Amino acid sequence: MVLEFARDMQVYKTRQGVQLCADSLAVLRTLPADSVDLIVTSPPFALLRQKSYGNELQSDYVAWLGEFGDAAFRVLKPTGSFVLDLGGAYERGRPVRSLYNFRVLLDWCDRIGYRLAEEFFWYNPAKLPSPIEWVNKRKLRAKDAVNTVWWFSKTDNPKADVTKVLVPYSERMETLLKDPEKFYTPKERPSGHDIAKAFGKRNAGAIPSNLLQIPNTDSNSHYLRTCKMLGRDSHPARYPSDLPRFFINFLTDTDDLVMDIFSGSNTTGRVAEETGRHWISIESDRQFAALSAVRFMTAWDDRSIQTAVTDIEVGRVIDLDAGLSQGPATESPRPVGSVQNQLFE
């Protein structure tokens, strides 16, 4: 089977993937069943204030996001995963937390049939104190610096290899590894389990916890500098590349297919490209989708970037590896490229 995307959906492509400007639900409903290895995404949260990129009301949020969960369940492989990053929120006018992210979790597991493979928590130590009313002004609550990250799977045994995301040993563990018997002398245990021997072997690193401490500090990134140079507004909600990188490395192999259905500035697609995965990113806002191309232009000069972004904005599909535009958006649909076609043959 060869997958085709209409020309007017395509924004740009690379050797490994394609950025689309489209309705994610429509794209998910056209993809072959059991074809995607990983969806990792951060949708607009159920916040009380409306954002420039659009977000649903808390009262409608679970049903709205559930449509995407339904459509994604069909296209995931039996070994596939869906990683969903959701920020916390408060109820309107009250210092009481909204339960919307937990209601999403229950809806997806109880109604759709996902498994909760594991819950993760993304701690952003660089996050500013918020919400202003309850933290800064009245000082009734601590700042909200943790997002819930639900790792959903389609079956009980999704593809996963924690040895691909090992972390550096702690200082204490390094001391133990130098001389396990001297550093730690356990009492005799009925089971005969010797902790010093069990933990005295040096591996490639330590097993990570489900608390991911990743600062979101990209104030001087190539993406932001280039948006400023172009005089364009950058996407206001960007997550750090280390967040999707962790799950892409953990849950996929080289040449697997990764999707982001709310791609924004396309951090996920860029990381998938860097790690040798195929990718499809979908963003409904044409301006943000076009600007995300600069993530793949780190070695380009300013003039070339300006030309390419302008071409993309007027509807030309750019092959970023070849640096070529491929005609106006009004041409007839064609396959997105040999790499993507081979994924579905």
Catalytic positions, written as ranges: 42-43, 85
* Of 313, 338, 165, residue with least CA distance to 246: 165
Is residue 218 within 8 Å of 134, Cβ to Cβ? no
Distances (CA, A) of 119 to 37, 68, 115, 267: 19, 19, 11, 22
> What is the enclosing helix (H) or strand (E) of 4?
strand 4-5
- Determine the distance from the C-alpha atom of residue 275 to the mean position of all C-alpha atoms in its chain, rounded to a whole number: 14
Q: Where are the alpha helices (DSSP H) in 141-259?
A: 171-178, 180-183, 195-198, 222-230, 242-251
Tokens matching residue 186: 């356990």
Peptide bond preceding 131 in cis form (omega within 30 of 0): yes
- Which of 322, 304, 325 has the alpha carbon at shortest distance from 314? 325
- Contact by Cβ (8 Å): 247, 323: no
Cβ count within 10 A of residue 318: 24
> How many residues in the chain?
345
Count the helices and strands in the chain (H runs, E runs). Answer: 12, 13
SS3 state at 132: helix
Distances (CA, A) of 56 to 209, 215, 259, 260: 32, 26, 22, 18
Q: Residue 113: which of 76, 74, 84, 154 has the closest Cα? A: 154
Bridge partners, 260 (sequence order): 281
